[in-house]
Amino acid sequence: MTRVSQPEKGPGGGPTGRAGGVAGARTGRRGDLTSGPFPHGDWGEPAARLDELYRRVEAEALRTVEWYLTDRRWKRSAARALRLGSVLG
């Protein structure tokens, strides 16, 4: 028997946003790159809805870039400290 998911529900019919629910739910430890559930809305005005989705995707992309650069910064500092330690040691 095949189950068809409803928009408000995750795969298999369970609610979204819980641990073990939809992939990408904000359940990981702090600092993980995740996203919330896809927003539901009224498609009566497609242009307004697409504009809203565009703004959401743009904000998520900027958040991803910030996450990447922040994560990269401490790794670069740690690598420099290790290189300095190997030169001095």
> Taking the mean position of all CA atoms in its chain, how far away is CA 5?
21
* Shared domain check, 30 and 59: no
Long-range contacts of 19-26 (CB under 8 A, 24+ apart): none
Residue-level pLDDT at 22: 38
Domain residue limits at 18: 1-38
Please check whether residues 54 and 81 belong to one and the same domain. Answer: yes
Confidence (pLDDT) at 9:
43
Q: Are residues 45 and 76 in the same domain?
A: yes
Indicate if 47 and 88 belong to the same structural domain: yes
Its pTM stands at: 0.49
- Same domain assignment for residues 50 and 32: no
Q: Are residues 72 and 47 in the same domain?
A: yes
Taking residues 33-47, what's their average pLDDT?
Answer: 82
Hunting for tokens 């697409």 — which residue is that? 50
Secondary structure of residue 85 in the 3-state scheme = helix
